[in-house]
Structure 1
Amino acid sequence: MSARDWGVLFVLCGAIFLEGIDVAMLNVALPSIRSELGLSTGELQWVMSAYVLGYGGFMLLGGRAADLFGRRRMFVFWLTVFLLFSGLGGFATDGWTLIVARFVTGVAAAFMTPAGLSIITTSFEEGPRRDKALLVYSGTAAGGFSIGLVVGGLLTAVDWRWVFFAPVVLSFLVLTAALALLPRSPRPDRTGESVDLAGSVSVTAAIVLLVLGVERASHTGIGWTLGTLAAGLVLLAVFVAVERRSASPLVRLGIFRGGPLVRANLSALLFAGGFFGFQFLVVLYLQELRGWSTLQTSFAMIVIGIDAVLSPTLTPKLVARFGNARVIFGGLLLAALAYALFLPVGADWTYPMMFPSLIILGLAFALAYGPLTIAATDGIEEREQGLAGGLLYTSFQFGAALGLSAVTAVNVAATDGDSPAALLDGYHAALVVPLAAALLAALVSAFGLRSPKGTAVAYGETPARPETAAR
């Protein structure tokens, strides 16, 4: 790639690194935030849930906005919003200020992330150059999350507010680089296209309610959860009806006729659910049962971050040699192996006994995450790249919320008391959830192995056929 290409990629990788490190650092800092601000358990949960709702609920709208209003324009504007409200979180003196700041930060990420991804997919032609760019991009995202676990622990030891101020500094640097390096593009031609307001409102409300129902399932009654999910599904049906009749739909329903895109998004949802659910359980095991400190836990899990090295180095070679679909399938099988190896975890396991699961999971992430990103955007017309990115990240975010809620619910149901034996029983039961998710994801992805090398037919690495352009 040319120096200009690397400059563009540097900016976009900086933004996705920022998003990853922001989430990871906050996870580590939550106990300190609760202690200083005197937050209840419910308020503390909302500090996390608010970001998830903003991020997951507005992602689809954010992806389409990039297509309609300009990718660079959306990226720069929402990066600025991210910077401002991250700073507001650092100055918070009460729970609700922090919750509002996290919600708006999540909304900003929902617009910024698909805009950044679509800049890559439209700046690099489909093929090896785009694949390499996307794998570097996905490796940087993973690196941000892994490094954030350690950096968050270090900053929290000084003052938890630096967990919010550090992203402000990084955001400013990325914003400055974006203004200088991201190429300007002409305003998108929206002749004959109007903003699908009814579709935007209905799908955003539907996704917010669905994510909220899943996110809060383990913290509220069954009636409230079912009611929220039912309302979300009703609004989703309203959205589909609106899109069928709209002359300029927010989401062209014909995009779902492509089996590769659907498979990629389903696999991403299940993979994210298993991955984040497993990490959550490992943190509980190390801190609640073993009594490890936050920093010890962070250093123990940083080995998963090996994917930040492998994604741009090993994965491109494997994709070139075996095809995208086979690499994804292999990554999902490795994830299932990692979870299976951790199933018999004992109360006195040494770190070397945990290490195989963690290192294999890092390899699995390297093989699955980047290629899934390629799979979800290949063969999609340029004018819909933002939408494709929004769909993918909605799948990841909803999957993460679903996985966290499922493992929490199973863990709570299977834990009878607070003795070490009871806690361990809860972990053993909940660890089945990530394993089941990984196996189901592998099953879904297996349907993409029909082509000779598991590439073009399997995951849409050929241009979309003319008929798929019809609504």
Structure 2
Amino acid sequence: MTRPSTPQTALVVAIASLASAVAFLDSTVVNVALPAIERELGGGLATQQWAVDGYLLTLSSLILLAGSVSDAYGRLLVLRIGLVGFGIASIAVGLAPDPLFLVIARAVQGAAGAFLVPSSLALITSLLQGHERSRAIGLWTAFTTGATLVGPLLGGVFVDLLSWRYAFLINVVPVAVTLWLVTRLPVHDERRSDAGIDWWGAVMCTAGLGGMVFALIEQPNLGWSSPAIWMPLAAGAVLFGAFLLRQRTTPHPILPLGLFRARNYWTGNLATLFVYAALSLNGFVIGVYLQEGAGLSATLAGLASLPTTVLLIALSPWAGSLAERLGGRVFMTAGPLLMAGGALLLLLVGDPFDYGWQMLPGLLVFGLGLAATVSPLTATILGAIDSERSGIASAVNNAVARVAGLVVIAFLAPIVGGSLDLAGFHRAAVVTAALMAVGAVIAFAGIRRTPSPAGTTPRR
């Protein structure tokens, strides 16, 4: 792939950010739409969980396959396929007549989204270098994470003024804009002639995660003794274990275990697992509780996260540039600890509800921690791997983040005690803080100042 000149750098960042943003946006826009979806389509808490996890399941399991396909057959080709598929699936979600159709459409949407994230970030890591790349990753991180956080606000506006369905139908606009921008990028895909894809591995990964997630979500309804619970749980665990074993022997793994020989890479991904589990839990619980517990409208529930979004967008590029000079360790430690403190401040929420005194302080602290974390985390992880494997490296990291969200939402019922009342909200806040604290400890203990690509001698 030819390298763009400086005037095209902004175009590269814009394409990468928009393509990833639509996938990240839909992972959270659904949060404030969940009560409206359940009221119209029925199905209770299980429908709400599956509306989230149906998307995350295919996104997290197929993103590994997408990373390999991106490296093998070209980032721009994969990007176009993902954009078209995402637009079509978004229309299907918006027209869903019942819970089953909705969940299936969300799963297809997640599958298309899986092809957007690794190919878009790989454009930045393969086309840009040095400080330019670090700043671009900071902008990409701020924009995509900002889209994730602004999702509840957009969803709330559509739910209150039009319908929850428009929160998904609107996706065709950024998809169309991104497809047009891709045609303006004066670079060409490079394809590897020796490419090979582990299709069976992708099937095993998806089926394994699917079986385990199904059991975790439906267990409160059927009980652990039901064959409909323990059989898919056991089968899923076996399939996922077999998938990991297969990755050690297949000539073209979609999860190259050799990547994890780089200390900053495996440590960063382990920290990602806990931090993003906490982020997913926090976003889901706030979006639903503010409507069903505090009695706010969907728009006000979405507005609640706006201070966090503003802080993230304003400070994330600065944090990325500063982390380049000081190293990611301090940011990846302090950031999650700040977010843990912000989550504990949410214990102030009570009845009657007062946003300004009870929730805003926690969200401000949480936003500062998030801005300090996301860009240095991404840059540290990808900086540990050589640019030729940037597609699969970013895919694995994004898969870890989505699996974290997938699992924590599947465990939602035992976390909140069965219902999202005030007590359940407080329990979720404590669990969020604990997960963040674990992520901070992992980063402090494992991240080193000077990362080195896997398989090379560390720089002195």
TM-score after normalising by structure 1: 0.88
CA distance in 2, matches of 1:248, 1:429: 43
Q: Is there any run of 5+ residues in structure 2 with no aligned partner, and where?
A: none
Tell me, yes or no, if the aligned pair for 2:311 and 2:371 is still in contact at 8 Å: yes
Matches within 5 A, 1:70-149: 70-125=74-129, 127-149=130-152
**Deviation at residue 5 of structure 1 after TM alignment:** 0.8
Asked if structure 2 preserves the Cα contact closer than 8 Å seen for 1:407 and 1:433, the reply is no
Of 170, 181, 201, the match for 1:199: 201
Q: Cα–Cα, structure 1 residues 357 and 80, in superposed 2: closer, same or farther, change >3 Å?
A: same
- What is the match of residue 350 of structure 2? 346
Contact 2:153 2:305 in 1 (8 A): no
Count of aligned pairs between the two proteins: 450
Looking at structure 1, the residues matched to 221 and 414 of structure 2 have their Cα atoms a distance apart, in angstroms, of 9
Query: Kindly tell me: are residues 251 and 87 of structure 1, through their superposed partners in 2, closer, same or farther at Cα, counting changes over 3 Å?
Result: same
Percent identity between the two aligned chains: 27
**Does the aligned pair in 2 maintain the 1:270–1:441 contact within 8 Å?**
yes
SS of equivalent residue, structure 1 residue 83? helix
Query: In 2, distance between residues paired with 1:359 and 1:409?
Result: 28
Look up the equivalent residue of 2:398 and give its one-letter code.
Y
User: Does 2:369 correspond to 1:364?
Assistant: yes
Say if 1:41 and 1:215 are closer, same or farther in 2 by CA, change over 3 A.
closer
1:94-129 per-residue CA deviation (whole Å, 9 max, x = no partner) reads 33333222111100001211111111111112x322
Given that residues 215 and 402 in structure 1 are in contact (C-alpha distance below 8 angstroms), is that contact kept between their aligned partners in structure 2?
no
- Distance, in Å, in 1 between the alignment partners of 2:423 and 2:35 is 25
* Residue 317 of structure 1, CA deviation: 4.0
Matched residue, 2:449: 455
SS at match of 1:455: coil
TM-score (structure 2 length as normaliser): 0.90
Q: Is the 8 A contact 2:67 2:254 kept in 1?
A: no
Distance 1:103 1:47 in 2: 9
Q: Please give the per-residue CA displacement for 1:122-157, whole angstroms capped at 9, x wherever unaligned.
A: 1112x3222111111111112212322222222222
| Letter matched to residue 163 of structure 1 | A
* Alignment correspondent of 1:176: 180
Determine helix, strand or coil for the equivalent of 1:181.
coil
Alpha carbons 1:56, 1:208 under 8 Å: kept: no
Q: Say if 1:57 and 1:211, in contact at 8 Å, map to a contact too.
A: no
Q: What RMSD over aligned residues (CA atoms) do the two structures have, in Å?
A: 2.5
Match of residue 440 from structure 1 = 438
Q: Does 1:2 align with 2:31?
A: no
Q: Does 1:465 align with 2:459?
A: no
Between the aligned partners of 1:328 and 1:45, the Cα distance in structure 2 is 29
Cα distance in 2 for partners of 1:305, 1:105 equals: 24
| Contact 1:76/1:179 (<8 A) preserved | no
Mapping 1:48-447, distance limit 5 Å: 48-125=52-129, 127-156=130-159, 157-181=161-185, 183-190=187-194, 193-216=195-218, 220-223=222-225, 226-353=230-357, 354-412=359-417, 423-447=421-445
SS at match of 2:305: helix
The answer (yes or no) to whether the contact 1:71–1:118 under 8 Å persists in 2 is yes
Equivalents in 2 of 1:307, 1:402: separation in Å? 28
Structure 1: where are the runs of 5+ without partners?
Answer: none
CA offset digits 1:204-244 (Å, max 9, x no partner): 33333344444555555234555444333322332233233
- Whether the aligned pair in 1 keeps the contact of 2:156 and 2:301 (CA below 8 Å) is no
Q: Counterparts of 1:307 and 1:227 in 2: how far apart (Å)?
A: 45
